[in-house]
Amino acid sequence: MQNIQSYIMPTYGEREIEFIEGKGVYLYSVDKKKYLDFGSGIAVNSLGHCHPKLIEALNSQSKKLWHSSNLYLNKNQEEYAKILCQNSFAEKVFFTNSGAESIECGIKVIRSYHHYHKNIHKKNIITFEGAFHGRTFAALSAQLNIKYSEQFEPLLSGFIQAPFNDLESLKKIVNESSAAVLIEPIQGEGGIRPANLNFLENVKKMCEEFKILLFLDEVQCGFGRSGKLFAYEWSNIEPDIIAVAKGIGSGFPLGACLTTDAACIGMTKGSHGSTFGGNPLAVSVGKAVIDEILKKNFLDEVDKVSRYLWKKLKILENDFDEIVEIRGAGLLLGIKTKNNNIEICNLFSKNGLLCVPASDNVIRLAPPLIITRNEVDEAISIIEITLRELND
Ligand code: PLP
């Protein structure tokens, strides 16, 4: 790559590949190379690239109104919120532009809930080792991971960390000063680690017992990626609050915090706001995305193709010593490798397959939800070829 002066703050490091076009599950770089996209821009492009229905929705809205402000009524926003509520546990929605903002909103819901109920001691939100909730101060403070927060201290108080999937440890941590539990049903950045369904169900019971709120971060694992609209639907529980983003807009910046009426009792006029959240363009795309995802058989197909991908990966796990473990659920899967995951990811990319590294030396596979079996076969063949090359 040419050594050019960059005016971008260097937080993303060096970036070599430049994409100029996307269609379905493929991306095309400036040097005319075709890539099979199993990263989806970090689990974002749920309907792939340039989906015709999304183009139509965005084009049509762009000719009518881009922005008016949340000072004014927006019937499309109301309708969209209704669809989200009718298809989940939720009764109220706050629209945001990103995952971290959805987390921020959920934390404000928790604090305002206990303020409303005068639970003055309930201040601490329990989070988990390996969690990732974003890059704002509240999110950094919640995930308590030195990798992301070391140079930004002091962090906010009021967060306590528990080991993931460990009920006995959690029982020792929860007490009268607990306010809520915040958990990803499938940890993404933390290394594609699903919470055991039994663990989630016990966490819910504990929340009920201590009269505290259950807040799920489904920013990465939600919106169809698990094979159900929300990952919690695989368990027998319903949360009080959920944060979503990424796949909800399939590439358009959009997020949401969904809650029950009871949980958001403290969120009154003026207590929160966003200039852009739920803007007309975002809502038009969001509605088109959920229309597609809720179409008959769409989620069944996601479930089927994800099981197919899982089966194929398990065969590779058997065939290659390089693969330590296949983990994850739905179309959020991880390959834990022996050698450096980032280097192997780069080799996949050289061979035309895009994946995203995660913690714990895992290579994350998060293809668009519209992936077909043929495209899965293509990805598996690239993985196989690359691992053979590595052996040679
Ligand atoms: N929560 C989870 C589980 C995530 O994976 C992410 C981003 O990767 C976030 C929150 C933060 O989302 P955003 O980058 O949109 O702020």
Residue to substitute in 11, 103, 132 for testing ligand 1 pocket (most ligand atoms within 8 angstroms of CB): 132
Q: Which atom of ligand 1 is nearest to the CA of 103?
A: 10
pLDDT one digit per residue (tens) for the chain, 392 residues: 556 789 999 999 989 999 999 999 999 999 999 999 999 999 999 999 999 999 999 999 999 999 999 999 999 999 999 999 999 999 999 999 999 999 999 999 999 999 999 999 999 999 999 999 999 999 999 999 999 999 999 999 999 999 999 999 999 999 999 999 999 999 999 999 999 999 999 999 999 999 999 999 999 999 999 999 999 999 999 999 999 999 999 999 999 999 999 999 999 999 999 999 999 999 999 999 999 999 999 999 999 999 999 999 999 999 999 999 999 999 999 999 999 999 999 999 999 999 999 999 999 999 999 999 999 999 999 999 999 999 88
- Distance in Å, CA 47 to ligand 1 centroid: 18
- Distance in Å, CA 337 to ligand 1 centroid: 24
Please tell me the predicted confidence (pLDDT) of residue 78: 98
The correct answer on CATH 3.40.640.10 for the domain covering 53-293 is yes
- Distance in Å, CA 100 to ligand 1 centroid: 6
- Ligand 1 pocket residue status of 358, Cβ below 6 Å: no
Please tell me the predicted confidence (pLDDT) of residue 167: 97
Amino acid present at 169:
S
- Ligand 1 pocket residue status of 245, Cβ below 6 Å: yes
* Inter-residue contact 217 to 208 (CB < 8 Å): no
* Inter-residue contact 157 to 125 (CB < 8 Å): no
* Inter-residue contact 248 to 369 (CB < 8 Å): no
Say how far apart CA 379 and CA 367 lie, in whole Å.
10
Domain-wise residue ranges, the chain: 10-50+297-391, 53-293
Angle 213-358-18 from CA coordinates, rounded to 5°: 120
Please tell me the predicted confidence (pLDDT) of residue 269: 98
- Ligand 1 pocket residue status of 219, Cβ below 6 Å: yes
* CATH class of the domain defined by 10-50+297-391: alpha beta
- Ligand 1 pocket residue status of 185, Cβ below 6 Å: no
Which runs of consecutive H residues, i.e. helices, occur in 30-152? 40-43, 52-62, 75-86, 99-116, 137-143, 146-149
Please tell me the predicted confidence (pLDDT) of residue 4: 75
What pTM was estimated for this model as a whole?
A: 0.98
- Distance in Å, CA 362 to ligand 1 centroid: 17
- Ligand 1 pocket residue status of 125, Cβ below 6 Å: no
Say how far apart CA 147 and CA 120 lie, in whole Å.
32
Same fold, 10-50+297-391 and 53-293: no
Please tell me the predicted confidence (pLDDT) of residue 20: 98
- Which residue's alpha carbon is nearest to atom 5 within ligand 1? 220
Please tell me the predicted confidence (pLDDT) of residue 3: 63
Say how far apart CA 330 and CA 106 lie, in whole Å.
25
